[in-house]
């Protein structure tokens, strides 16, 4: 866990003071509405459908237990008792008053947290692999690189007023768990043939109304040059990105309109000017930050435990949970444990204050006092000993966080939708609940297997619908909620955008439509080993489309 | 209402006059002309007794126009809207890469206390405050953050260098 030093702490404290004064001036009528809006967004504060919403940064998804407790305190003190984990590893509070936000930010600062640049047209929170540091397929721990980049981006004097928001994700594993190809910059940490560390750089990916998979800008960038290269990309973007049309202002449009080859030339030319500047990382800088992420002290005897096998044999519910919600750990006798925030009757990603407190206690007891947020809106206890899996499961079950559905159909990625968001066209949470109820049992019956069902209430795409194996997009048609469906999207290494099935379906039919698609898959698949995505890629749209529209009402 | 000018972190009288493109040249004094006028009338302006500063649109590539502006005693960069941050990049290039030593002036709708700190960091040395700004508050805002993470044109020692010490 990165620990702030005096400089980091001073910056967040000064940021709180700055925002407190901006809010005071706004309330006193001294700061124009439109300007306060842009300033508050850069502090995570939206004004939503019913109330303000505050998005708190969780850099690369990593939380210490005392920070989790603080989030519980904020939920309890300033909100209606819960928060919502987002698809960019942050947390949102949906009910604070505007006047209380400076106090919330001051509380956050006491545990080394903030809401800086969690919205607005600036460099946003860096996201990464939720299994960083423990995954077996990892080259190096990406978190020190994320932290170095976070500091570079924080209050960057040149890039705080960009054409549009700018999101960067860093991954360092064979399997991309950070959806890097749908980010403005996607960084893959790699080793070249000479054995040197560096990065493959992707640029221009993004979801929203023009979803695009990022293009590779550079095969290998030396390890020391991460910041100078990002600065070069940002400088080209700040200069040339469109500002005449908000829908064409993301860097993906600039890359597309310029052409990837020409864009790469512009970046390389700028980079050549600054690559040997102060932005070059030194080994000492890297080592200093890496020391903050030192490995926990693992118990070498953890794998000797015999209770785990006995518990699995004796308890089918526990066994089912271990099959779905555990991921392999590089250290024998340890697992990474997913706490599912996709339970019946709960909006995907929502967590209440009591759960946050309990999660903090469990992190202290079983996982070195840390927990991670995933971009799929779940939590991970990354370092749990085998012998502790059973008591942890029991404790999680007791607080409703042990649904054995990680990676399955009911592990829906979902935006807040019409229930909270002022941009949204349609409900997403209610649809997610209906799908949950429908498939809770069907899942068991048919073993549908690996499935990403992603849902957004509008084309801004916060629910990542474009890269869902099944994607659902809420649209408004004459005041009614309708849903467009896409098939075959992926945000992993084989990143692809989903194909539209055809006309959208009504609110009343959306759950039936999903069921039709699942049944088509079950009928078409070679075997249980062929996933929905693989099956779709093999057989194509036709059988899905035929079945989908045979029984549901559709409107073009 | 005349514009308040901050220069070298204090309130100063503005000794420059912004000249419209169709205005006659005064006999003497300090003027700021548009980039277009400078381009069209450079010989006449250089032959005059005027001290000529130049105002550059934020869409101009600084590297391209550098040869014709580098010798000017004042370059004004514009923020045509509060959220339009292109001039930040122009300023850093002028101040850092091209070591421009003249007066680098910020003009336009973003020249307010909530952005002036970033402007100082990017190398601006004078500020035509937007109407209604309190100069004292703007000056105080320059030092709102005591230590930056990034090295920039203001030569304040950034955090990473302090940590190396």
Asked if B86 lies within 8 A of A238 by C-beta distance, the reply is yes
If interface means Cβ-Cβ distance under 8 Å, which residues of chain B face chain A?
61, 82-86, 88-89, 92, 97, 110, 112, 114-115, 117-118, 121-122, 144-152, 159-164
Q: Across all residues in chain B, what is the average pLDDT?
A: 95
Q: What is the pLDDT of residues A393-405, one digit of tens each?
A: 999 999 999 999 9
Kindly indicate the confidence band of residue A449, based on its pLDDT and cuts at 50, 70 and 90: confident
Whether A85 and A198 map to the same domain: the answer is no
Identify the pLDDT of residue A413.
Answer: 92
Residue B114 to residue A22, Cβ atoms within 8 A = yes
Domain that holds residue B112: 5-164
Nearest by CB to B122, from A121, A157, A282: name it: A157
Structure confidence at residue A442 (pLDDT): 62
Residue A297 lies in a domain: no
Residue indicated by tokens 């519980």? A72
pLDDT tens digit sequence for A455-471:
999 888 889 999 999 99
CB A443 within 8 A of CB A410: yes
Vertex A468: Cα angle to A256 and A453 (nearest 5): 160
A288 touching B, CB under 8 A? yes
Name the 3-class secondary structure at A308: helix
Residue pLDDT, tens place only, A107-118:
999 999 999 999
In a domain, A183, yes or no: yes
For residue A303, what pLDDT is reported?
95
Same domain, A167 and A231: yes
For chain A, give the mean pLDDT. 94
List Cβ neighbours of A53 (8 Å cut-off, separation of 6 or more). Answer: A45, A46, A47, A92, A93, A94, A96, A420
Alpha carbons A189 and A316: distance in angstroms, whole number: 40
The predicted model gives A385-389 an average pLDDT of 97
Residues A104 and A166 in one domain: no
pLDDT the model gives residue B9: 92
Q: Is the per-residue pLDDT at A384 higher than 50?
A: yes
Q: A7 and B83: CB-CB below 8 Å?
A: no
Residues whose CB falls within 8 Å of the CB of residue A324, separated by 6 or more in sequence, listed in order: A404, A405, A406, A407, A408
In a domain, A215, yes or no: yes
Which residues in B lie closer than 8 A to residue A15 (C-beta atoms)? 145
Closest CA of chain B from A292, distance in Å: 14
Check: CB of residue A429 under 8 Å from CB of residue A348. yes
Residues of B in contact with A7 (CB under 8 A): 147, 159, 162-163
CA A34 to chain B, closest CA, distance in angstroms equals 9
The tens digit of pLDDT for each residue in A28-53 reads 999 999 999 999 999 999 987 677 99
The percentage of chain A sitting over the pLDDT mark of 90, rounded to a whole number, equals 83
A447 falls in which pLDDT band (50, 70, 90)? confident
pLDDT range class, residue A554, cuts 50, 70, 90: low
Same domain, A444 and A514: yes
Q: Quote the pLDDT of residue B60.
A: 97
Q: Could you give the 3-state DSSP secondary structure of residue A347?
A: coil
Paired strand residues for B128:
B5
Taking the C-alpha atoms of residue A266 and residue A445, their distance in angstroms, rounded to an integer, is 55
Percent pLDDT > 70 in chain A is 98
pLDDT at A556: 55
User: What does DSSP say about strands B10-12 and A499-500: parallel, antiparallel, or unpaired?
Assistant: unpaired
Residue A431 clears pLDDT 70, i.e. is over it: yes
Q: Does residue A437 sit in the same domain as residue A458?
A: yes
Instruction: Find the closest chain A residue to B98 by CA distance.
Output: A273
For the record, the structure tokens of A535 come out as 């099956």
Q: Is there a contact between A305 and A385 (Cβ–Cβ < 8 Å)?
A: yes
Chain A residues within 8 A of B149 when measuring between CB atoms:
11, 151-152, 154-156
Contacts of A161 in chain B (CB under 8 A): 83-85, 88, 110, 115, 118
Residue where a domain stops, chosen among A347, A373, A398: A398
Nearest to A273 among B97, B144, B163 (CB): B97
Task: Please tell me the predicted confidence (pLDDT) of residue A444.
Answer: 64
Does residue A116 belong to any structural domain of this protein? no
Q: How far is CA B65 from CA A271, A292, A401, B38, B119, in A?
A: 20, 46, 61, 11, 21
Q: Is the pLDDT of residue A346 over 60?
A: yes
Mean pLDDT in residue range A183-193 = 97
**Domain hosting residue A551, numbered range:** 413-555
pLDDT at A21 (0 to 100): 97
CB pairs under 8 A between A and B: 88
Q: Is A312 inside a domain boundary?
A: yes
Region A348-375: mean pLDDT is 97
Shortest alpha-carbon distance between residue A427 and chain B (Å): 32
E-assigned strand segments in A236-356: 326-328, 334-339, 350-352
| Burial A10-31, CB ≥16 within 10 A → b, else e | ebbbbbbebbebbbebbeeeeb
Q: ∠ at Cα A391 (A389, A393), nearest 5°?
A: 65
Band the pLDDT of B1: cuts 50, 70, 90: very low
> Do A306 and A277 reside in the same domain of the chain?
no
For residue B118, the distance in angstroms to the closest alpha carbon of chain A comes to: 5
Please state, in angstroms and rounded to a whole number, the distance separating the CA atoms of residues A87 and A95: 19
Looking at the predicted structure, is the pLDDT value of residue A223 above 50?
Answer: yes
- Res. B165: pLDDT tops 80: no
The CATH number that applies at residue A541 is: 3.30.413.10
- Nearest residue to A180 via CA among A491, A533, A452: A491
Alpha helix (H) residue ranges in chain B: 35-47, 62-69, 86-92, 113-121, 135-141, 159-164
Identify whether residues A271 and A365 lie together within a single domain.
no
Which are the contacts of A198, defined by CB distance < 8 A and separation ≥ 6? A189, A190, A191, A192, A220, A221, A222, A223, A225
Give residues with Cβ within 8 angstroms of A6, minimum separation 6: none
pLDDT at residue number A436: 87
Distance between CA atoms of residues A385 and A461, nearest Å: 37
Looking at the predicted structure, is the pLDDT value of residue A359 above 80?
yes
Has residue A486 been placed in a domain? Answer: yes
Are residues A430 and A531 located together in one domain of the fold? Answer: yes
DSSP helix/strand/coil, B73 = coil
Question: Is 0.90 topped by the overall pTM?
Answer: yes
Are residues A272 and A140 part of one domain? yes
Q: Let me know whether A70 and A139 are in one domain.
A: no
Instruction: List chain A residues with CB under 8 Å of B88.
Output: 157-161, 238
Note every long-range contact of A330-333, with CB atoms under 8 Å and residues 24 or more positions apart, other chains counting.
Answer: A330/A134, A330/A135, A330/A136, A330/A138, A331/A134, A331/A298, A331/A302, A331/A383, A332/A302, A332/A303, A333/A298, A333/A299, A333/A301, A333/A302, A333/A303, A333/A304, A333/A305, A333/A385, A333/A386
Where are the strands (E) in A253-399, listed by range? Answer: 326-328, 334-339, 350-352, 370-373, 379-385
Question: Residue A160 burial (CB < 10 Å; 0-12/13-18/19+)?
Answer: buried
Number of domains in chain B: 1
The pLDDT assigned to A114 comes to 98
- Same-domain check for residues A138 and A281: yes
Cα Rg of chain B (Å, integer): 16
Shared domain for A70 and A14, answered yes or no, is yes
DSSP designation for A467:
G
If one counts the domains in chain A, the total is: 4
Burial A322-347 (b: 16+ CB within 10 A, else e): bebbbbebebebbbbbbbbbbbeebb
């Amino acid at each position: 866990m990165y620990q702030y030093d005096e400089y980091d702490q001073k910056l967040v404290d000064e940021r709180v003071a700055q925002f407190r004064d901006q809010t005071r001036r706004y309330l006193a009528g001294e700061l124009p509405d439109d300007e306060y809006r842009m300033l508050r967004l850069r502090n995570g504060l939206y004004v939503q459908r019913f109330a303000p919403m505050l998005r708190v940064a969780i850099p690369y998804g990593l939380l210490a237990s005392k920070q989790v407790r603080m989030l519980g305190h904020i939920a309890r003190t300033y909100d209606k008792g819960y928060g919502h984990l987002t698809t960019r590893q942050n947390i949102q509070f949906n009910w604070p008053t505007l006047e209380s936000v400076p106090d919330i930010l001051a509380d956050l600062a006491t545990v080394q947290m903030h809401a800086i640049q969690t919205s607005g047209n600036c460099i946003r929170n860096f996201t990464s692999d939720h299994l960083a540091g423990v995954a077996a397929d990892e080259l190096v721990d990406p978190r020190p690189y994320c932290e170095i980049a976070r500091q570079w981006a924080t209050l960057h004097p040149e890039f705080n007023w960009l054409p549009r928001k700018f999101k960067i994700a860093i991954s360092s594993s064979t399997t991309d768990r950070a959806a890097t190809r749908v980010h403005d910059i996607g960084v893959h940490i790699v080793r070249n043939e000479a054995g040197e560390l560096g990065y493959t750089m992707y640029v221009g990916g993004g979801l929203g109304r023009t979803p695009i998979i990022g293009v590779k800008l550079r095969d290998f960038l030396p390890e020391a040059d991460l910041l100078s290269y990002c600065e070069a990309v940002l400088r080209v973007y700040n200069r040339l990105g469109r500002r005449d049309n908000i829908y064409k202002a993301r860097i993906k449009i600039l890359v597309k309109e310029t052409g990837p080859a020409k864009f790469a030339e512009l970046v390389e030319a700028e980079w050549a000017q600054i690559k040997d500047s102060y932005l070059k990382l030194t080994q000492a800088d890297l080592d200093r930050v890496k020391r903050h992420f030192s490995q926990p002290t693992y118990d070498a005897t953890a794998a000797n435990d015999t209770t785990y096998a006995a518990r699995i044999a004796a308890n089918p519910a526990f066994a089912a949970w271990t099959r779905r919600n555990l991921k392999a750990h590089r250290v024998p006798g340890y697992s990474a444990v997913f706490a599912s925030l996709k339970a019946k009757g709960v909006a995907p990603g929502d967590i209440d204050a009591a759960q946050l407190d309990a999660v903090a206690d469990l992190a202290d007891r079983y996982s070195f006092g840390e927990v991670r947020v995933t971009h799929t809106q779940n939590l991970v206890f990354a370092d749990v000993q085998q012998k502790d899996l059973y008591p942890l499961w029991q404790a999680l079950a007791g607080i409703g966080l042990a649904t054995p559905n990680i990676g399955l159909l009911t592990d829906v990625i979902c935006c807040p939708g019409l229930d909270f968001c002022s941009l949204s066209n349609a409900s997403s949470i209610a649809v997610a609940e209906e799908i949950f109820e429908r498939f809770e049992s069907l899942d068991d019956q048919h073993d549908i297997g690996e499935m990403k069902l992603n849902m957004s209430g509008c084309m801004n795409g916060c629910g990542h619908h474009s890269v869902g194996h099944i994607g659902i997009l809420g649209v408004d048609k004459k005041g009614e909620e309708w849903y467009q469906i896409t098939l075959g999207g992926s945000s992993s290494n084989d990143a692809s955008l989903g194909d539209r099935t055809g006309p959208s379906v009504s609110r009343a039919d959306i759950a039936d439509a999903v069921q039709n698609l699942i049944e088509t898959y079950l009928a078409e698949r070679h075997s249980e080993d062929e996933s929905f995505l693989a099956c779709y890629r093999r057989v194509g749209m036709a059988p899905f489309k035929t079945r989908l529209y045979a029984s549901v009402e559709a409107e073009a | 209402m005349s514009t308040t000018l901050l220069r070298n972190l204090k309130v100063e009288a503005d000794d420059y006059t912004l000249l419209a493109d169709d205005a006659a040249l005064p006999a003497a004094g300090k003027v700021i002309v548009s980039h277009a006028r400078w381009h069209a009338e450079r010989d006449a302006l250089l032959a005059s007794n005027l001290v000529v500063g130049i105002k550059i649109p934020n869409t101009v590539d600084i590297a391209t126009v550098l040869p014709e502006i580098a010798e000017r005693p004042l370059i004004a960069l514009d923020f045509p809207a509060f959220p339009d941050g292109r001039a930040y990049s122009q300023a850093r290039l002028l101040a850092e890469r091209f070591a421009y030593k003249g007066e680098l002036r910020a003009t336009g709708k973003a020249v307010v206390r909530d952005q002036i700190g970033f402007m100082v960091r990017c190398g601006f040395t004078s500020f035509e405050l937007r109407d209604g700004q309190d100069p004292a508050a703007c000056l105080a805002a320059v030092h709102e953050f005591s230590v930056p993470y990034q090295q920039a044109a203001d030569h304040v020692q950034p955090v990473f260098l302090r940590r190396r010490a």
